Structure 1
C-alpha cells in the first residue's frame, strides 16, 4: 500500500508544525529509522515551513504505525498528533503528492518553491537508499505532471510567494519602504526571494546574516547588501527597521532580551518582524514588546488570499490534469504488477524446462533411444508445467471458488487453439 501521512498548515497550528519538523541534520537518521520498521518498504520525508509529510510503501501495517513512529521520533504523545494528521492511501496518496508538487495544497496557491523542496526530499531519499521502484516512479511521474501544469496552465503567472507576501506586508506598514533598512536572517531560497523583492521595492539597505558567512556574502553581493555572521545579530538589530528570518535552526536566534536591548538603543523606533522559519527563529515573547510588530508565517493569509482568488481558474484546470495523471499512474502500476507476475511465471517455467532438459541430455549420454528420450521429455515437461496449476484448480473447485475457476478458464484456455485443424 502507498501511504502519505501529513501534518500541514491546514490541519495544525504553528506550534504543532514546528514540533514535528525535521531539521536537515535529523533527516538521514529519520529515513534510516523509518525504513528499519519491518512494514516500511520505501520512504521519503518532506519537511518545510508549512508541512511535514511522510510518503512510504507499506507491506502490512497502517497509518497508526507511521504516526506512532513520527511521535516516537520527536518524543511527542500520539494523542496530540492524531487530530491534525492527514492520511492518503494508494490513488489518493498519488493525487496528494501531485497536488503538493503543483502548489495546489500550498498556503500560496501555485507557489513554485514547493516543487524544489520535493525534489530535495526525493534526492535525499535516493542518497540514503530508501526509495524502491514504486516511489522512484511516483516521484518521476509527479515531476513530469508538475512541469505539465506549469506549462499548460496559468498557475505560475504573476507568482506570489511567502517571501513576496512578507515584503508586501512590510510595504503596507511603512509609509515609504525606501527609507527603511532590512535585516535578513538566513541565506536559503526563501531569503533570496525576500532580498530580491526588497531590492525591487527600492529599500535603502539590506544586511544578510547567516551561520555560514560565505553564503551570506554571496547573497549580499547579488543585492548590494552587507554580510554578517549570526554572532553580530545584536548590533545589526539596532539599525534594522525590518527583520525577516528563515533558517533551519532548531532553536530561536532572537530572544526577548536581545531585542529589548536593541529597542533601547534605537530609542524605541519600531521594528517590523516576520518569522518564516519552522521551528521559529524568533521567540514568540518578542511580540509582547512595545514597538515590535511580529508576524509568523500563519499571519500572511490576507496577502495570500488575494493570490488564491486570482489563480483559482488555473487551479481548477490543474486539478483536472492531475486526476487524469492519477488514472494513468494507476494503470501503469497495474501493468507493472502484471509484468512482475509474468517474469516470476516465466522464471518458474524456465527452471522446470532446464531440469527436464538436463535429465534428457543425461539419458542421451547414457545411450538411450533418442525417440523415447524425446517422448519422455515432452511428457515430463507437460506434467511439471501443469501440476501446480491443476492442483490449485482442484482445490479452488473443492472450496467452491467460482471466481478463481472462471479466472483460470479465461487465462488458461485458448479456444482458438483448440479448434485449429491439425495439418
Structure 2
C-alpha cells in the first residue's frame, strides 16, 4: 500500500514534548513542501491539533520510509528524542487510525466534534500546498465521511463534545455551580467562543478579551462582554475563573502577573497548545489546569462505541475496495490487451476482418466489456487475482 504515518499524541507523549511539535497553520504550510521534497515521498498530509501531530505519507513504489525522521528533518528537531513517545503505523493500520481519529474515537474527549473539521482542514492545506495525491485525497475524504457518520448515526449522550465543553464542565464541578461566577475568556477563536458560550449557558458572567474590535466584524458570543486584551490583568483581578485559548506563541497569563493581583482567580484553565498559562502561576494560589488535566469526562455507552467502530469498518472497507481497484488498473490494461490478442487469433474474427476494419470496434468492445465486468466486482478485484487471470489468458493464447 506504501502508506505510512507517525504520530505524537496525548496518549503517548507528555504535554512538554508535544509543545515543540505543535505546529500552527502557517508552520504546516511551510513544512509540507519540505516533507514532500524528501526522497520517496509521493504525497503528504500533516495533521496538527492541540492533542496530536500526525504525518501521513504516500510513498513511491518499493520504498521504505522512516516517517519520524522525515518530519524531524523538515521541522528541525531531534527524532531520537521522540522515538519512544511516537507511534508509527503503515497500510491498513494507518487507514484505520485516521478514520478513528476523524470519528473522535482517539480524542481525549471521546466524540470530540472539532477533530473532523481539523482533519478536513489538514487535507485542504495539503491540496493548497500541492502535496496531495489521489490516494491521500480519497483517504482523507473517506475519513471525514466516517467522522460525519459517527456524529449523525450515533448518540454520544452525556459526553463533552470538545475540550472547551470538558473544561467548563470540570470547572462547574470545581465550583459546585458556575451561576453568577465571574469568568474571563482570553481568546476569541473557535475554542474561546465555545468556552464563552458554555460558561454563559451555565449562568456565569462572562467577559471575552479581544486584541482588536471592529464593529460588525468581531463576533462576541451572545450575552458576553468584551474587554481589551492588553488590559486583561485588570479584569482578571477579582474574577473567579479564567479560560485561555489562543494561538499565541507567548504566555497570555504569567505567574508574575498573577502574583501581583490583589485577588487572583481561583481557577485557571489552559485550553491552548503551546500553553497559554505559565504553570508556576499555581504557586500564587490558583488551581491551574491544562489540556492533559481535562481527561475524558464522559461515560461511554458500549453500544455507541460499537456503532462508531462499525461505521469506521464500513468506511475503511470502501476505501480498501477503491484502493485495490486502483492498484489493479495496470493489470486490467494488460487483460484488455490479452483479450484483444485472443480475439485476433479467432478464425471467425479473421474471416470478418477481411471485409471490414474491425480492430477499432473490437478494442472498444473489449475495453467496455472488461470495465463493466470488473466494475461490478470491485469488492473482490485485487491485483493478485487479476495477475492469475492474465496468466491464464496468456497461456490460452500460446504466449
Aligned length: 355
Give SS of 2:172's match: helix
Query: What is the rounded CA distance, in whole Å, between the counterparts of 1:411 and 1:345 in structure 2?
Result: 8
The equivalent residue for 2:362 is none
Q: Pick from 284, 290, 294: which aligns with 1:296?
A: 290
8 Å contact from structure 1 (residues 68, 78) kept in 2:
yes
Query: What is the root-mean-square deviation of aligned Cα atoms in Å?
Result: 3.0
Cross-structure match for 2:33: 32
Q: Spell out, residue by residue over 1:216-267, the C-alpha distance to the aligned partner (whole angstroms, 9 max, x if none).
A: 97342x3222223432222222243211111111222221111212x23x3x
Match of 1:283 in 2: 278
Whether the aligned pair in 2 keeps the contact of 1:167 and 1:197 (CA below 8 Å) is yes
Q: Which has the larger radius of gyration?
A: 1
| Equivalent in the alignment of 1:234 | 233
Instruction: Give matches, 1:317-328, under 5 Å.
Output: 317-328=307-318
1:206–1:226 Cα contact (<8 Å) kept: yes
Contact 1:208/1:217 (<8 A) preserved: no
- What does residue 395 of structure 1 align with? none
Matches within 5 A, 1:43-54: 43-54=44-55
What corresponds to 2:320 in structure 1? 330
**d(CA) in 1 for partners of 2:309, 2:82:** 29
Compared CA separation, residues 216 and 314, structure 1 to 2 (3 A): farther
Per the normalisation by structure 2, the TM-score is 0.80
Q: Does the aligned pair in 2 maintain the 1:6–1:54 contact within 8 Å? A: yes
C-alpha separation between the residues in 2 aligned to 1:345 and 1:232?
73
CA pair 178-129 structure 1, distance change in 2 beyond 3 A: same
In structure 1, the gaps of 5 or more residues are 351-370, 378-402, 418-423
Once the two structures are TM-superposed, the CA of residue 316 in structure 1 deviates from its matched residue by: 1.8
1:163 Cα offset (Å): 1.3
Structure 2: distance between partners of 1:336 and 1:31: 25
Contact persistence 2:339–2:393 (CA under 8 A): no
| 3-state SS of 1:218 partner | coil
Q: Classify 1:250/1:126 alpha carbon distance in 2 versus 1 (closer, same or farther; 3 Å).
A: same
Q: Secondary structure at the match of 2:85?
A: coil
Most deviating of 95-104 and 69-78: 69-78
Aligned residue number for residue 409 of structure 1: 391
Q: CA separation of 1:90/1:10 partners in 2, compared to 1, >3 Å: closer, same or farther?
A: same
Q: How far has the Cα of 1:188 moved from its partner?
A: 1.9
Aligned equivalent of 1:310, options 297, 300, 304: 300
Structure 2 gaps of 5+ residues are 341-353, 360-384
Q: Does structure 1 conserve the Cα–Cα contact (< 8 Å) formed by 2:265 and 2:286?
A: yes
Shift in Å, 1:278: 0.7
Give the aligned partner of residue 374 of structure 2.
none
CA contact (8 A) 2:31 2:75 kept: no
Give the C-alpha shift of residue 347 in structure 1. 9.9
